[in-house]
Chain A
Amino acid sequence: MCGAGFGRFRWLVGEGAGQDVGRSCILVSIAGKNVMLDCGMHMGFNDDRRFPDFSYITQNGRLTDFLDCVIISHFHLDHCGALPYFSEMVGYDGPIYMTHPTQAICPILLEDYRKIAVDKKGEANFFTSQMIKDCMKKVVAVHLHQTVQVDDELEIKAYYAGHVLGAAMFQIKVGSESVVYTGDYNMTPDRHLGAAWIDKCRPNLLITESTYATTIRDSKRCRERDFLKKVHETVERGGKVLIPVFALGRAQELCILLETFWERMNLKVPIYFSTGLTEKANHYYKLFIPWTNQKIRKTFVQRNMFEFKHIKAFDRAFADNPGPMVVFATPGMLHAGQSLQIFRKWAGNEKNMVIMPGYCVQGTVGHKILSGQRKLEMEGRQVLEVKMQVEYMSFSAHADAKGIMQLVGQAEPESVLLVHGEAKKMEFLKQKIEQELRVSCYMPANGETVTLPTSPSIPVGISLGLLKREMVQGLLPEAKKPRLLHGTLIMKDSNFRLVSSEQALKELGLAEHQLRFTCRVHLHDTRKEQEMALRVYSHLKSVLKDHCVQHLPDGSVTVESILIQAAAPSEDPGTKVLLVSWTYQDEELGSFLTSLLKKGLPQAPS
C-alpha cells in the first residue's frame, strides 16, 4: 500500500565548471515533483559554456511540462544570469519564485549584463531586453516565511539568508519530505545585512553552498580595520584606489564603512561610485529597509544609512584626474565594463592599489591578478603589465566553515549536500560534518545525480474516540510498558482513516460475529455448589490480583467478563462441574482460567 517515498536530488552544472563557484543550477526531484533551484551563468566564459545545459533536465519534451517550478535564491548573476535564456530561448512558462527585492533588482542586473555582452562585446545569440521583461512576467514574488502553495502538494517557504539584499534560503516540501536549499548566505550580520536564520525544520536534505568551506575567517572588525588602513595609506601617498564591486551588496557595506571613516577622520579625498547602477542600488536599499540589519532598521527614520554625504557619482573623465581618489566600480571580478577600463588605466602605476573585496571566478582578470599574474594578455594581443598593488580582502558575504556547521545545526537535516565550492575544500568540510555532526554528506560533481531514499511516514486520520481511549489508558500508572493500540484502517480512495474495530464494522454495515466458548471443568468435590463457588472466588481473587473478580448474588463468579458457574451433574454426587464461559476477545484469560481451575482448588484453611 505504501511504497517508501523516493527522493531524487540532482545537481546539474555543465562541463568545465567543475566543483567550483561557477553557475548554480540544481534540479531536485522530490516525491514526484521537479524543482529547479537557481539558474546561474558562468562569468568566466563567453561561449556556450556560459549557460547551463538544460538538455540535462529533459531530452525531449517541454521544460514547462517537466518542471513544477523554478526558485531563484538571490540576484547575483551566477544564480540568475541564465534565467531569460532559460525561460525565453529554451522555453519555460511555469512559475519562477523569488523574493520582492530580488524581483526588483534582478532585471536591472540582467539588462546591465546584456548591455556589456551585446553592445560592448557585440555577442550574437544573446537574450534581448524584451526577453528579460517577458521573463520577469513569469515571476511570483514571495514574502519571508510565507508558505507558498505551488500546487496541492508542493509548497515552498523562504528564510532570510543575509548575503545580499533579498537573498533567501528556500524550503521545498512535499508531504512529509523536504529539502532546504540555502543559495548563498552568511551567518554573521554585517554593516548592512542581518545573519541567515532557519528554524529546526529537519529536512531530509540540506543543500548548502560551500564557497568558504575551509576558511574560518578572523573577526570582521580586524578585516575592516585592515581595509581602512590600506585605503588610507594609499590616498595619503597620493595613489588611487580601485575597488571592483558588484553594484549591490558589498558596495553598500564598504560605502557605509568608508563614509563613517571619512567623517571621523575628516578626509577630503573624493570617493566615487560608478554611475547609474550603484546609485540606483542605494535607492533599493532605502526602500527595502526591512531586509537590512536591525541597527539600520531602527535608525532609518532619523538617518537613512544609504544616503551618503562623501560619496559622489563617478564620471568616466574623472579616471584621468590627478591626485588621490577612491572609486567603486562594477563589475566585481574585473571581467568587463567600467572596473576593467579603470583598471587598465591605473594598472601601470605602483602608487595605485586595487582591492578585490570578493571571490573571483577562474578565467576573469580578477582571478588572474589574485593568483599572482602580473602580465595580462588583453584583447588584441596587447599585454598589460600590472604594477599597482593588488590586495584581496574577503568581504564577500558567504558563510565560512563555522557558519555552515552552524546552519546545519540549526536545521538538523538528515543529510547534507555541498555545492558551489571547490572540490578539495568541500572534501574537508564533508569530513567535518560527518564526524562532528554525524550527518551523512554528499558532494556530487557537476552533472552528477545523487539519489537519496527517504521513508516518509504515512499520515492518516485517527478517530478522536479511539485516540482518546488510548491516551487515557496510557496515563494509568501500570501502563509503563508499551501498550498496543488496536484499530482498523479504512482505505477509501486516498482517504485513510484509523477507527476502532467496532466503528469500522458499523460504518461498513457489517454485523459482529460473536465467538463464545464454554468449557466444562470437572472437579472432584463433594461440597455444595454455593460453597464451591465461594472457594473458586477466593482462589481466583488471590491469584488474579490485577483483575476484577466478583462473586455475584446468583452464585456465579466473574473474572472481568468471564463467567464461571458451578453445577452438580446428577449422576455423580462426588463430582462437580465448573462451566467457564468466555468470548473470543478474552481468549487468553479464558484459556488460562480453565487450565488453572483444572489443577483443582487449594484446600480450604480449616
Chain B
Amino acid sequence: DLSTVDVILISNYHCMMALPYITEHTGFTGTVYATEPTVQIGRLLMEELVNFIERVPKAQSASLWKNKDIQRLLPSPLKDAVEVSTWRRCYTMQEVNSALSKIQLVGYSQKIELFGAVQVTPLSSGYALGSSNWIIQSHYEKVSYVSGSSLLTTHPQPMDQASLKNSDVLVLTGLTQIPTANPDGMVGEFCSNLALTVRNGGNVLVPCYPSGVIYDLLECLYQYIDSAGLSSVPLYFISPVANSSLEFSQIFAEWLCHNKQSKVYLPEPPFPHAELIQTNKLKHYPSIHGDFSNDFRQPCVVFTGHPSLRFGDVVHFMELWGKSSLNTVIFTEPDFSYLEALAPYQPLAMKCIYCPIDTRLNFIQVSKLLKEVQPLHVVCPEQYTQPPPAQSHRMDLMIDCQPPAMSYRRAEVLALPFKRRYEKIEIMPELADSLVPMEIKPGISLATVSAVLHTKDNKHLLQPPPRPAQPTSGKKRKRVSDDVPDCKVLKPLLSGSIPVEQFVQTLEKHGFSDIKVEDTAKGHIVLLQEAETLIQIEEDSTHIICDNDEMLRVRLRDLVLKFLQKF
C-alpha cells in the first residue's frame, strides 16, 4: 500500500521512470528525494518516452488477450509475460510534470532529517550524472543502500566509498547486467566497428538513451574520428530531447569528475561535444521530420532511441538500412536483449554488433568494495547469490562474502539483522549540572538520573524534575485519599552489602543499646531487644521487622541505606 510509504529515495535517473505511476495514482503523499541532475535528466528520459509513444496513437488497444486462459495459448514471449493485468498505459507529460514537482532536490553529503528519527544522505555512486547511493542512519544504526554504482572513471563524480564504512547493513543492488563484458574493451570495439562500416560506405545506427553513455561515446569519437580519418562523416543525434540533453550535460560541473570540473574553471565546456557541435560534426534534431531530412547525408552515424527498437525514430532507420549489408547497428545499452530487440526485423541483411557498455559494478569490484567497506551484513536480490542460469558453472559470477549475503525476492519483506538498543536523548545542562557521578570501577562512573522526559518530533529531552509543589493550604477538607502517595516516584535500586560489625557499631553510636547478634546459615540477625526489633542481614538482602513505630523504622532505614549504593 503506497499511501503508507513516507519517503522515496531515487538513486539515478534510470530508476525513476515509474515515478508518475506512484505519485499520481496510488494515494502516495510522502516525499521524494533526488539530486538535481537526476531530476533534470530523468525528466528528459520521460519526455522522450512520452513523445515517442504519443507519436503513434492507438485508436484502440486489445485487452482480451490478457485473460489468463487466452494468454496461456499465445506464442512465446506473450505467454510468458507476467502480471499482464497490471500493465498500464504510458503516463502523459502532465503527469510527469506533476510527479517531478513533488521531488525535493538534495545534494551529495546533505544530511536530511526524516521525522527526527532517521537521517538520510545521498552519496555519489559514480554511475551517472547525479546518481546516488543512500545512507539511512539513526544515531546508533547505519544502513547503506548501494544501487547502480561504478568504480570506473567516466564523466560523473567518482563513487564515494569511504562514507559507506561502518554500515550495519549494506543493501546491494543494481550491479552490471553484463558481468562478463569489459566496458573499456567494448568502447574500443564500438569505435573500430563504426570506422569499418563508414569506410565501406555504410551507415551506423546506435540505438541509445538520450543521456548517459552517449556522452562518453561522443567523447571517444571526438578523439577517434580525426585519427581514423572520419572527420567528414556526420554524426546525427535524433531525439526530442537531444538539444536539452547536450545542453544540460554542460551545466552540471559540480556533479562531474575532477577533470571535467577543472575545464569549467577555465572556463570551457566540460564535454567536448560542444566543440563537435560548433564545428558542425555533430548535429542534433528533435525528430527525423523537418530540418533533418534536408541535412541528411550518407554515410553517417545516427544516435537515436528507443534502445528497445519498439518505438521512436530508431524504427525508421532499422527499416531504411536493414536490407543492406553495408550498414551496421551497434547495441551499446545493456538493458535489452539485442536478439529479442531485432526479432521483428528479421531477416536482416545489416550487420549487428553487440558491445554493451555497462559501467556498473561487476562481481570482482563488488568483493573489492565489500572488503574495503566491511559492512556487518550484506543484503541483495536473490539472483546475485547464485551464478546466472545461463552460466551456472561460473561460480565467480555471484556475491561472495562473509557472513553470506541475505537475499530477498520480489514482494518479500525482509527483517534486517540488527536490534535497536539505544536512541539519542539530550540532557539539559541544568540537569547535567545536578548529577552526581560516582566511580564504580576504574574508568566507569555512574550517576542516577531522575528527570522529566519530553518527547517532541521524535526528539527526546530530559529536563530537571520540577520542584516539589508547595503543600496546598487547608482550604479544602482533607480526605484520606488525598494523602495516598504517588507511587510513581521511583525509589532507587540498592546494591552492596552490610558489614555486621560496623553496622552494630553505628547502631551503638546512635544510641541503641541491648544489641544482640545471632549468626544464621546465610548471615546474621541483629536483635534490638528493647524495641522488639529484628534485623536480618544477608549478603544481598536486609529485612527490618519492627513494631509500628515509624520514627524508629525510619532511623533504622537511614542507617542501613548509608551502607548501600543507590542506583
Closest to B36 in A: A290
Interface centre among A289, A460, A515 (most CB of B within 10 A): A515
Count class of interface residues, chain A: 35 or more
A65 within 8 A of B: no
A104 with B265: CB separation less than 8 A: yes
Complex Cα distance, B491 from A501, in Å, reads 10
A517 with B425: CB separation less than 8 A: no
Residues of B within 8 A of A521 (CB): 548
Min Cβ gap A284→B in Å is 5
A487 with B449: CB separation less than 8 A: yes
B107 within 8 A of A: yes
A287 with B427: CB separation less than 8 A: no
A490 with B550: CB separation less than 8 A: no
B57 within 8 A of A: no
Residues of A within 8 A of B455 (CB): 471, 474
One of B205-213, B249-257, B357-365 contacting the partner: B249-257
Min Cβ gap A499→B in Å is 9
B107 with A459: CB separation less than 8 A: no
B111 within 8 A of A: yes
Closest to A281 in B: B267
> Interface 1/0s, chain A 443-461, versus B by CB < 8 A?
0000000000001111111
**Knowing A460-B424, A484-B488, A512-B493 touch, does A143 contact B453 (C-beta < 8 A)?**
no
Complex Cα distance, B109 from A497, in Å, reads 28
B418 within 8 A of A: no
Closest to A465 in B: B421
A379 within 8 A of B: no
B109's contact among A148, A457, A594, by CB below 8 Å, is which?
A148
Residues of A within 8 A of B107 (CB): 143-146
**Knowing A146-B110, A457-B461 touch, does A519 contact B548 (C-beta < 8 A)?**
yes
**Knowing A461-B422, A543-B480 touch, does A508 contact B544 (C-beta < 8 A)?**
no
> Interface 1/0s, chain B 405-428, versus A by CB < 8 A?
000000000000000111111111
A586 within 8 A of B: yes
Chain A residues 478-504 with CB under 8 Å of chain B are 482-493, 497-498, 501-502, 504
Chain B residues 263-282 with CB under 8 Å of chain A are 264-265, 267-270
B429 with A515: CB separation less than 8 A: no
Min Cβ gap B462→A in Å is 7
A467 within 8 A of B: yes
Residues of B within 8 A of A592 (CB): 483-485
A345 within 8 A of B: no
> Interface 1/0s, chain B 485-504, versus A by CB < 8 A?
11111111111111000000
Chain A residues 275-330 with CB under 8 Å of chain B are 280, 283-284, 286-290, 300-301
A516 with B542: CB separation less than 8 A: yes
One of B214-222, B392-400, B438-446 contacting the partner: B438-446
A458's contact among B264, B426, B450, by CB below 8 Å, is which?
B426
Closest to A144 in B: B107
**Knowing A484-B489, A547-B487 touch, does A287 contact B495 (C-beta < 8 A)?**
no
A485 with B449: CB separation less than 8 A: yes
A461 with B443: CB separation less than 8 A: no
B15 within 8 A of A: no
Complex Cα distance, B482 from A545, in Å, reads 11
A467's contact among B264, B423, B492, B496, by CB below 8 Å, is which?
B423
Min Cβ gap B157→A in Å is 10
Complex Cα distance, B256 from A287, in Å, reads 12
Complex Cα distance, B108 from A358, in Å, reads 35
B389 within 8 A of A: no
A461's contact among B425, B428, B462, B545, by CB below 8 Å, is which?
B425
Min Cβ gap B34→A in Å is 13
The count of chain B contact residues (Cβ–Cβ below 8 Å) is 96
A502 with B449: CB separation less than 8 A: no
Residues of B within 8 A of A492 (CB): 443-445
Interface centre among A280, A283, A510, A560 (most CB of B within 10 A): A510
Chain A residues 550-606 with CB under 8 Å of chain B are 560, 584-589, 591-592, 594-596, 598
Complex Cα distance, B264 from A280, in Å, reads 11
Min Cβ gap B488→A in Å is 6
A100 within 8 A of B: yes
**Knowing A143-B109, A458-B427, A585-B490 touch, does A289 contact B251 (C-beta < 8 A)?**
yes
Complex Cα distance, B453 from A273, in Å, reads 65
A256 within 8 A of B: no
Residues of A within 8 A of B554 (CB): 591
B518 within 8 A of A: no
Closest to A513 in B: B494
One of B184-192, B240-248, B318-326, B505-513 contacting the partner: B240-248
Min Cβ gap A349→B in Å is 37
**Knowing A147-B111, A461-B425, A512-B494 touch, does A518 contact B540 (C-beta < 8 A)?**
no
**Knowing A147-B109, A515-B564 touch, does A460 contact B243 (C-beta < 8 A)?**
no
Complex Cα distance, B443 from A100, in Å, reads 47
> Interface 1/0s, chain B 532-567, versus A by CB < 8 A?
000000011111111110100110010011001101
**Knowing A145-B107, A484-B450, A519-B553 touch, does A462 contact B424 (C-beta < 8 A)?**
yes
B553's contact among A145, A508, A517, by CB below 8 Å, is which?
A517
B429's contact among A103, A289, A456, by CB below 8 Å, is which?
A456
Complex Cα distance, B534 from A517, in Å, reads 10
B466 within 8 A of A: yes
B451's contact among A287, A471, A484, by CB below 8 Å, is which?
A484
B567 with A489: CB separation less than 8 A: no
Min Cβ gap A604→B in Å is 17
Residues of A within 8 A of B85 (CB): none
Residues of B within 8 A of A543 (CB): 480-481, 484
A514 with B494: CB separation less than 8 A: yes
A486 with B422: CB separation less than 8 A: no
Residues of B within 8 A of A502 (CB): 493
B87 within 8 A of A: no
B178 within 8 A of A: no
A512 with B540: CB separation less than 8 A: yes
Residues of A within 8 A of B564 (CB): 513, 515
Residues of B within 8 A of A588 (CB): 485-487, 489, 491
A470 within 8 A of B: yes
B540 with A514: CB separation less than 8 A: yes
B481 with A544: CB separation less than 8 A: yes
Residues of A within 8 A of B445 (CB): 1, 490-492
A119 within 8 A of B: no
Closest to B484 in A: A544
**Knowing A289-B251, A543-B484, A592-B484 touch, does A457 contact B543 (C-beta < 8 A)?**
no
Closest to A521 in B: B548
Complex Cα distance, B248 from A290, in Å, reads 10
B460's contact among A100, A462, A463, by CB below 8 Å, is which?
A462
> Interface 1/0s, chain A 172-185, versus B by CB < 8 A?
00001000000000
Complex Cα distance, B244 from A501, in Å, reads 64
Residues of B within 8 A of A437 (CB): none
By a beta-carbon cutoff of 8 Å, the part of chain B in contact with chain A is 36, 106-111, 121, 139-140, 243-244, 247-248, 250-254, 261, 264-265, 267-270, 420-429, 432-433, 435, 437, 440-441, 443-453, 455, 460-462, 465-466, 480-481, 483-498, 539-548, 550, 553-554, 557, 560-561, 564-565, 567
Q: What are 22 of the A-B contact pairs (CB < 8 Å)?
A: A143-B108, A280-B267, A301-B243, A457-B426, A457-B432, A460-B427, A464-B421, A484-B451, A485-B452, A485-B462, A489-B437, A490-B444, A490-B445, A511-B540, A513-B540, A520-B547, A547-B487, A560-B487, A584-B494, A586-B491, A589-B484, A596-B480
By a beta-carbon cutoff of 8 Å, the part of chain A in contact with chain B is 1-2, 4, 100, 103-104, 141, 143-148, 157, 176, 280, 283-284, 286-290, 300-301, 455-464, 467, 470-471, 474, 482-493, 497-498, 501-502, 504-505, 508, 510-522, 543-547, 560, 584-589, 591-592, 594-596, 598
Beyond known contacts A511-B539, A513-B564, A594-B550: 8 more, CB 8 A cutoff: A103-B265, A286-B267, A287-B250, A459-B426, A486-B450, A487-B449, A491-B444, A516-B544
For the complex of A and B, 5 pairs with smallest distance between CB atoms: A588-B485, A461-B422, A457-B426, A501-B567, A514-B541
